[in-house]
Every structure is written in C-alpha cells, then in structure tokens.
Amino acid sequence: MNILFIGDIVGRPGRETVKGLLPSLKKEFALDFVIANVENAAGGSGITLATANELFSYGIDVFTSGDHIFKKREALSIINEEPRLLRPANFPLATPGRGAGQFITKTGGSVVLINLLGRVFMEARECPFRIVKEEIDKNKAKVIIVDFHAEATSEKVAMGWYLDGLVSAVLGTHTHIQTADEKILPYGTAYITDVGMTGPQRSVIGRKIESVLARFITQIEHRFEVANEDLQLQGVVLNIDEDTGKAKSIIRIQRSLNS
C-alpha cells in the first residue's frame, strides 16, 4: 500500500500547490491513499467548508489537523458532519468531532488514522501517550498512521519509540520545517520528526518575512499575512505491507510548483 502524507497546507498558495502537483505524484508513486494536514488551509489558520471541499476535489482522501483547527468557527459544525476531517484525539471529550477513524483506500485496503497533539511548549491537553494507546485498542487494524502535531522534537522522537511496532507510521507535523531523519524503526514503524509544509518556502513558516521580522525586532503585534513565493509540496510517501502493517519504506518529498 502506497500512502502520501502532505505536510501542513498553508493558505491559498498551499492549496494551489496541491492542485498543481498532486496528480503527477499520484501517478509517480501509484498512490492508494492521500492524507494531508489542513489546520492552516484557510487564510493560513483554520479550515472552512469551502477550502475543505476544494482540497477534497484535488484528490486528498482524509484531513488531519492540530491546535489551529477551530480558528475558523465554521469548523465547529463541519467537523461533526465530515468524518474525513479529524481533530486531535487528546482534545477534551466534549470537543466536537473525532480524533481517529478507519478509512478504505481506492484498492479496498483499510487504514486507521489517529491525530494527536503534543503538550510540550503547547497548551495542555490530555496525555497523547495514553490516548494513542486507547485509540489503537479501539481501532483494531493492521495499517495505522499517526499524525503527531507537536512542537518539541524530543516529544515526537519519544512517541516514535513508544509506538514502534504498534503502528505503521508516526509522522510529525506543526513546525512547518521538514526534517531529514526519516527512517524505519527496529520493529517496523516509519518515522519522521516533521513532514514539512506545503506552500510558500520564501517565508517564515508560511508568513511574509517582513511582518514576522518586524514582530521579532519591535515586539509589537503585526498582522502575519500568508506569503506566496517559492511554492513547494512537502511530505512523505509510505510503502506499507498490508498483511503485517509494517512499513517497508518512507520517502521524503520536496516538489516545487512550476519548477
């Protein structure tokens, strides 16, 4: 089974990048399933019904998210009605939506996707290490993909070792900076600390450089607009043995639009 995971899609530039590059990636890697983190897809923060439908139309099968998922209030209603949009499973029980789901690929295979939020340097949530074990027990499957949306490298690495052999892949998101540590752990779990960002690379993690610099230099609030230069799709392609759930390979992807 070949699965593409697309790193955090940022605003309209990120959506246009997916539109332009996903068709060729599907052919190149004979993809069975496509996942994308979309918590920044609408205006650089959050998701709306229009942006969700747009991205579904480009060929993404399921969305994960993170701490910004409810920045657009519209998401509160969307997430209850759209099972293909996940929010972190370790949000409070009363939070709308779901943090995990089982999905069928175009070839009839089964994939369980679990979305988690880190706690280091982020707002406190339920323990992701405890919650992920509960979700694994509830969603029995061979192929299980975990999107761990976290800030701290140490927390992501720890989650990889914690789940080695229990899931097919632990994929870090949130920092928008792709790491070069993709690997297969000893018991067959694919791992990368951060899959990266889809959108403008000539930026500060997706925002216009000038406004971010002004904030750092003056310590005065500035509006952070989404940048729009040097558009790139970043992510990973996983090849997973459907019989065992173990990862056979993980390939890091960096593709530029109109290059």
pLDDT at 259: 62
Model pLDDT for residues 109-164, shown as the tens digit of each residue: 999 999 999 999 998 899 999 999 999 999 889 999 999 999 999 999 999 999 99
Q: Which of 222, 218, 188, 187 is nearest to 208 (CA)?
A: 222
Is residue 174 annotated as a catalytic residue, yes or no?
A: no
Enter the tokens of residue 65: 């998210």
- The whole-angstrom separation of Cα 4 and Cα 1 is 10
Q: pLDDT at position 223, please?
A: 83
Assess contact for 83 and 101: CB atoms under 8 A. yes
Q: What is the mean pLDDT of the chain?
A: 96
Options 68, 149, 174, 176, the catalytic residue: 68
Domains of the chain, start order:
2-256 (3.60.21.10)
Q: How confident is the model at residue 77 (pLDDT cuts 50, 70, 90)?
A: confident
Pairing of strands 247-256, 231-240: antiparallel
pLDDT tens sequence across 57-75 = 999 999 999 999 999 999 9
